[in-house]
Structure 1
Amino acid sequence: MMDSSVKIINEWDIVAARQLGRNVAKELGFGTVDQARITTAISELARNIYLYAGQGEITIEKIESGTKKGMTIISRDAGPGIPDLRKVMEDGFSTSGGLGAGLPGVKRLMDEFSIESTPGEGTLIQSVKWLK
């Protein structure tokens, strides 16, 4: 399976990552509502990299499991890491003064979600959306 990555260094890269995600979602046959969910999740992840880590990467992979098809969005950075994962996963928690949809929002928008973060080393977030 082909995967594609977008390095997140500036705000334009957030737009590029969203576009890539939308294109992959469309290719896989996701409807417009799911395409919007996927691009929103990518936006949120890419913006977090930009705001908190300074730079990182969004990787989008097409996946298959048995008869199921879907896509994985991997957000990877070597930023300061997240000291309290429980706290950032609370609804309404925001350090940027944003709406705080943040990571709980991404988790709700996608079907699977995992996060690993090591303070001083960075954060890895993987989320999956399956084609219904």
Structure 2
Amino acid sequence: MNNLTVIRIQHELDIVEARQKGREISKKMAFGSVDQVRITTAISELARNIYLYAGSGEITLEELADGHKAGIKVAAVDKGPGIADIKKVLEDGYSTSGGLGAGIPGVKRLMDEFTIDSVFGEGTTITAIKWLRKR
């Protein structure tokens, strides 16, 4: 399967496009409505962070299938300033923009797998996977 969709994030409306693509793909893959909301919320948070902190970047959505299980992989990639303290960013309530500080910790909770790789001054890649539950 491994279909790949790439959405450039440069404008606020790109966040909406990324959400819509995520909803379309998760619906097509037969995720339940609750998981569709989890996936689109995670995509929205990641895209918003790119827009707010890096200025531009991209969201990639990849359909995963290995015969035994299927899922969607969401990657947020930017060449922004990077994250100085990843541990701090993963704390609930921490925010550098005056927001609620629920973004990245929320994405981690909403998805099944989560990795963050950031080099200060070079950029950030956050990858999150949601696996399709057997019904």
> Could you say which TM-score interval applies, normalised by the shorter chain?
over 0.9
1:77-116 deviation line (CA, Å, top 9, x unaligned) = 0000000000000011111111211111000000000000
Q: CA deviation at 1:65?
A: 3.1
Q: CA RMSD in A?
A: 0.7
| Structure 1 Cα separation of the partners of residues 59 and 91 of structure 2 | 23
The residue number in structure 2 matching 1:58 is 59
| Structure 2 Cα separation of the partners of residues 111 and 65 of structure 1 | 16
Q: CA deviation at 1:66?
A: 3.8
The residue number in structure 2 matching 1:119 is 120
Letter in structure 2 aligned against 1:96: S
The count of residues paired between Structure 1 and Structure 2 equals 132
SS at match of 1:92: coil
The residue number in structure 2 matching 1:91 is 92
Q: Which runs of 5+ in 2 are unaligned?
A: none
The residue number in structure 2 matching 1:129 is 130
Q: Which runs of 5+ in 1 are unaligned?
A: none
The residue number in structure 2 matching 1:30 is 31
Name the stretch that deviates more: 95-104 or 55-64. Answer: 95-104
The residue number in structure 1 matching 2:71 is 70
- TM-score of the aligned structures, taking structure 2 as reference length: 0.96
SS at match of 2:75: strand
Name the stretch that deviates more: 42-51 or 93-102. Answer: 93-102
| Structure 2 Cα separation of the partners of residues 51 and 95 of structure 1 | 10
| Structure 2 Cα separation of the partners of residues 11 and 44 of structure 1 | 12
The ranges of structure 1 where at least 4 consecutive aligned residues each deviate by more than 6 angstroms after the TM superposition are none
1:6-51 deviation line (CA, Å, top 9, x unaligned) = 0000100000000000001001100111100001000000000000
| Structure 1 Cα separation of the partners of residues 32 and 25 of structure 2 | 12
Letter in structure 1 aligned against 2:123: G
Matched, 1:46 2:35: no
Q: CA deviation at 1:122?
A: 0.1
SS at match of 1:50: helix
